[in-house]
A and B are shown apart, each in its own frame.
Chain A
Amino acid sequence: MFDQKKLAEAKKRRQKWEKTTVPNWLRRHPERQKDFQTVSGIPLKRLYTPEDIKEMDYSKDLGYPGEPPFTRGVHATMYRGRFWTMRMFAGFGTAEQTNQRFKYLLKEGETGLSVAFDYPTIMGYDSDHAMSLGEVGQCGVAVSHLKDMEILFDGIPLDKVSTSMTINGPAPMLLGMYICVGDKQGVPREKLAGTTQNDNLKEFFAQKLCIFPPKPSLKLSTDVIEYCARHVPNWNPVSISGYHIREAGSNAVQELAFTLADGIAYVESTLERGLKVDEFAGRLSFFFACHNNFFEEIAKFRAARRIWARIMRDRFKAKNPRSMWMRMHVQTSGCTLTPQQPVNNAIRTAFQALAAVLGGTQSLHTNSFDEALCLPTEEAVTVALRTQQLIAHESGVTDTIDPLGGSYFVEALTDEMEERAMSYIDKIESMGGVISGIEKGFFQKEIADSSYKYQKEVERHDRTVVGVNDYTVEKDWVPVDLLRIPPHVEREQLARLERVRQGRNQQKVKQSLDKLFDDADKNRNLMPTIVEALKAYVTIGEITDVLRSVYGEYKELIVV
Chain B
Amino acid sequence: MSTKERKIRVLIAKPGLDSHDRGAKIVARALRDGGMEVIYTGLRQTPEQIVETALQEDVDVIGLSILSGAHSTLFPKIMQLLKKKGMTDVMVFAGGIIPKEDIPALKKIGIKEVFGPGTPTSTLVEYVKNSLSK
Contacts and interface: CB of A to CB of B under 8 A. Distances in A.
Interface of A: 119-120, 122-123, 125, 130-135, 138-139, 207-209, 247-249, 335, 338-340, 372-375, 448, 451-452, 455, 458-459, 465, 468-469, 478, 482, 484-485, 556, 558, 560
A134 B44 contact: no
Given A119-B68, A338-B118, A556-B42, A452 B29 contact: yes
9 contacts: A119-B70, A133-B74, A138-B69, A138-B70, A139-B68, A339-B118, A459-B121, A459-B122, A482-B101
Contact of A558 (B22, B42, B72, B101): B42
Nearest to A467: B118
A207 B19 contact: yes
A20 B104 CA distance: 62
Contact of B16 (A135, A207, A478): A135
Contacts of B42: 556, 558
B86 interface: no
A358 B102 CA distance: 40
Contacts of A247: 22
Identify which of A138, A468, A556 gathers the most chain B CB atoms within 10 Å of its CB.
A138
B134 to A, nearest CB: 25
A391 to B, nearest CB: 27
A338 B117 contact: yes
B114 to A, nearest CB: 12
B21 interface: yes
B20 to A, nearest CB: 8
Contacts of B74: 133-134
Given A135-B73, A375-B69, 9 more contacts: A119-B16, A131-B44, A209-B19, A338-B117, A339-B97, A374-B97, A484-B69, A484-B99, A560-B32
Interface string B55-98: 00000000000001110111000000000000000000000010
Nearest to B122: A459
B9 interface: no
A451 B26 contact: yes
A138 B22 CA distance: 20
A452 B26 contact: yes
Nearest to B17: A119
Interface residues of B, number: 34
Q: Chain A binding site: helix, strand, loop or mixed by DSSP?
A: loop
Interface of B: 16-22, 25-26, 28-30, 32, 40, 42-44, 46, 68-70, 72-74, 97, 99-101, 116-118, 120-122
B67 to A, nearest CB: 8
A482 B118 contact: no
B43 A478 contact: no
Contacts of A138: 68-70
Contact of B17 (A123, A482, A484, A560): A123
Contacts of A465: 118
B97 to A, nearest CB: 7
B29 A560 contact: yes
Contacts of A560: 25, 28-29, 32, 40
B37 to A, nearest CB: 13
A466 B21 CA distance: 24
Contact of A448 (B18, B25, B69, B122): B25
B35 to A, nearest CB: 16
Nearest to A131: B17
Contacts of A338: 117-118
B83 to A, nearest CB: 19
A446 B25 CA distance: 13
Contacts of A455: 26, 30, 121
Contact of A482 (B26, B32, B46, B99): B99
Nearest to A371: B97
B4 to A, nearest CB: 28
A207 B17 CA distance: 12
A258 to B, nearest CB: 15
A366 to B, nearest CB: 19
Given A133-B73, A556-B43, A558-B40, A372 B17 contact: no
A119 B44 CA distance: 11
Nearest to A121: B17
A208 B19 contact: yes
B29 A373 contact: no
Contacts of A478: 100
Instruction: Please give me the 7 A-B residue pairs with the lowest Cβ-Cβ distance, nearest first.
Output: A134-B73, A119-B17, A138-B69, A134-B70, A208-B19, A468-B118, A135-B70
B43 A134 contact: no
Contact of B117 (A119, A133, A207, A339): A339
B127 to A, nearest CB: 15
B13 to A, nearest CB: 13
Nearest to A133: B73
A120 B101 CA distance: 25
